[in-house]
Structure 1
Amino acid sequence: MSGHQWVNEAISKIEADFQRSADTHLIRLELPGINGVEVYLKDESTHPTGSLKHRLARSLFLYAICNGWVDENTTIIESSSGSTAVSEAYFARLLGLPFIAVMPRSTSMQKIQQIRFYGGQCHLVNCSSEIYAESQRLARELNGHYMDQFTYAERATDWRGNNNIADSIFRQMRAEKYPVPSWIVMSPGTGGTSATIGRYIRYQKLNTRLCVVDPDHSVFMDYYTSGDSSLTIDQGSLIEGIGRPRVEPSFIPGVIDDMRRVPDVAAIATIHWLERILGRKAGPSTGTNLYGALQIAAQMKSDGQEGSIVTLLCDPGDRYLDTCYNPDWFAAQVGDIQPWIDDLCRLYGK
């Protein structure tokens, strides 16, 4: 098969897969404690691979193929804490390409099993800070392509439209009481999604503001406040998929209107509280997102403001049964979450 023929067929397969998938749902939460402020979850767990990272993986594959970096003989390597690797393994299998995920040993077993289900291999390292160099080494040794989500996430997606997540949110909000959200709240992993949303808001001349919430043990917020891109820490984030030990190239602070730190204990408590409302489990990054959104909602109500807030349900909780939904694990890692759950029930309901 000629190079151009393979590229044409690969892009056609990815585009056909996209057409087989409907848009993700937008869920309005019933929260009597903040009447006048509507809070919505953009449920990215309904993608074929179960997370927000499905959009990113599709964009990264198209970007790499169209740049001539990937052909029919290329081994794909990615550094990931799990969800991106799951989604990239799916697309690699779709194209018949070998896939290797370089991941910290602390990654949940459920994610590792999903990567293997899609035919991918998992190459585990001791510390999250080791994933970059190890991915580069493997790519060199195997003559493969390091997908490098942390560099290319902010440029692989067309932020002006083309059914990106921002375009989807604003289309789905059109029939709501407050169709233009006062805030969109999300947490950064690569920084690619916050870059897409922030750029889209500005390009479309919208009055929505973007709040980015960072977990404990992440340098993004410190970089946002200090401007020091050399910041690093030794400890990785407890909240899989978000927070980084270094400033990633895809994190664009200039598109952000506000940034807040959400304690890990608050994030874990929030997903347990959310289960009472939705009747199903969500992953811990969703807890970080929603806790930040609830803080803003409470402030809006206190200030006598009405409006809407949209945040992201990033992935399902069944990937974290041995961690965030294991009482022994979260007691050891973050302490007693019950007081936080009680506060959420008192302030917002349930």
Structure 2
Amino acid sequence: MSWNARALDVLAAGEPTPLVDFPVRAPGIRLLLKDESVHPTGSLRHRHARALFRRAVLDGLVGPGTTVVEATGGNAAVAQAWFARRLGLPYIVVMPGEHSRARARPVEELGGECRFVTPPPAIYDAAREIEGHFLDQFGRAAEHDLAAELFGQVRPDWVVTGASTGATSATLGGWIRAHGRSCRVAVADPENSAYFPGWTLDVPDYATGMPSRIEGIGRPRMEPGFRPDLVDLVIPVPDAAGVAAARHIREVTGLPVGGSSGTALWAALELIDRMRARGESGTVVSLIGDAAERHLATCHDDAWAAERGLDVAQHEEKLRRLVRSAGG
């Protein structure tokens, strides 16, 4: 078997991730959480990393011994390092900010190399200067298999996700339109992010210049991978509300999810509340982007929230009202 054939075998789709019923008692409305945290690297980024590597192999951009380079951090870097290791490829990630042993460790444990660059926007140019193939998750299209998998499990009326590169909402929206489905896509957007104002104002190069406080979603600019034409609704979510909803997911499911999953849940509950008010029925799916013990020291920790001025208690009360109003 050739290296390419073996690589594509490694990059084949895994088992479908499960759907979890979430107990909102809206008459005629069902809320499901698609748990992407069960992937080997624990997040939705696993699916996107697989798609990027697969596209690069099919296009002849990655082969035996190719150094793979990316400019990112967090779950995306871990997922990419995992695939690079399985393919036997060197992996270098350029991360924003000062050197952090805690941030580098998960990548280095998978055999990857971390380089830190300041100011943060300089990571892209720094990555392009490294000899090898730049995956470029923000600029390079690579549709993953979430949509086909999801619609093989359920027939939702709405799918709610956060946006970072924009690939997930674009993949969902593109698949839905190509297959003539009536389902709609909503994007949950945290504070400081450019997606809600850019989508609302129809300004494709909108930028806020401010980083998101919610790990994994929200961008200071409209990224090339985000397709406003494939998104039906963008819902702004206060950061404290996303944190409150993350805690609610943990309370119900036991999963220590991050703020991105909480942000998506908050948007899904607001959407359900609107559906209830209009007398609509249907199925809403919200994505669990990741779940990890490290989140217990962040969005599930009162001291962490207080240090960032996040009034979680206020939003916990509103969250209970949203669930009650959605429950009728």
| TM-score, structure 1 as length reference | 0.87
> Does residue 167 of structure 1 match 2:135?
no
Distance 1:254 1:211, change over 3 A: same
Could you tell me whether the CA contact under 8 Å between 1:283 and 1:317 is conserved in 2?
A: yes
Give the 5 Å matches for 1:175-324. Answer: 180-324=155-299
**Could you tell me how far 1:227 is from its partner in structure 2?**
3.0
**Could you tell me how far 1:49 is from its partner in structure 2?**
0.7
SS in 1 for 2:241: helix
**Could you tell me how far 1:110 is from its partner in structure 2?**
6.0
Give the 5 Å matches for 1:39-188. Answer: 39-105=31-97, 112-137=104-129, 139=130, 143-152=131-140, 155-157=141-143, 164-173=145-154, 180-188=155-163
Distance 1:107 1:197, change over 3 A: farther
SS in 2 for 1:270: helix
SS in 1 for 2:31: strand
In structure 1, what is the Cα distance between the partners aligned to 2:255 and 2:102? 17
Look up the match of 1:177: none
SS in 1 for 2:40: coil
Deviations 1:100-124 (A, max 9, x none): 2222348997654322221112222
Gaps of 5+ in 1: 159-163, 174-179
In structure 2, what is the Cα distance between the partners aligned to 1:295 and 1:109? 38
SS in 1 for 2:139: helix
Could you tell me whether the CA contact under 8 Å between 2:45 and 2:79 is conserved in 1?
A: yes
| TM-score, structure 2 as length reference | 0.92
In structure 2, what is the Cα distance between the partners aligned to 1:106 and 1:56? 26
In structure 2, what is the Cα distance between the partners aligned to 1:6 and 1:14? 12
In structure 2, what is the Cα distance between the partners aligned to 1:234 and 1:31? 37
Return the letter of the residue paired with 1:239: I
Return the letter of the residue paired with 1:280: L
Could you tell me whether the CA contact under 8 Å between 2:256 and 2:295 is conserved in 1?
A: no
Could you tell me whether the CA contact under 8 Å between 1:239 and 1:264 is conserved in 2?
A: yes
Look up the match of 1:11: 8
Provide the aligned length of Structure 1 versus Structure 2.
325
Return the letter of the residue paired with 2:6: E
Could you tell me whether the CA contact under 8 Å between 2:69 and 2:93 is conserved in 1?
A: yes
Which stretch shows the higher mean deviation, 293-302 or 224-233?
224-233
In structure 2, what is the Cα distance between the partners aligned to 1:107 and 1:272? 30
Deviations 1:176-202 (A, max 9, x none): xxxx32211111111111111001111
Once superposed, what is the RMSD of the aligned Cα atoms? 2.2
In structure 2, what is the Cα distance between the partners aligned to 1:334 and 1:189? 23
- Seq. identity, %: 37
Deviations 1:254-280 (A, max 9, x none): 011111211111101111122111122
Could you tell me whether the CA contact under 8 Å between 1:184 and 1:209 is conserved in 2?
A: yes
The partner residue of 1:29 within 22, 36, 43 is: 22
Could you tell me whether the CA contact under 8 Å between 1:237 and 1:244 is conserved in 2?
A: yes
Look up the match of 2:310: 335
In structure 2, what is the Cα distance between the partners aligned to 1:59 and 1:23? 15
Could you tell me whether the CA contact under 8 Å between 2:269 and 2:322 is conserved in 1?
A: no
Distance 1:150 1:93, change over 3 A: same
Deviations 1:97-149 (A, max 9, x none): 11122223489976543222211122223454232222112x2xxx2111000
Distance 1:110 1:183, change over 3 A: farther
In structure 2, what is the Cα distance between the partners aligned to 1:236 and 1:282? 21
SS in 2 for 1:223: helix
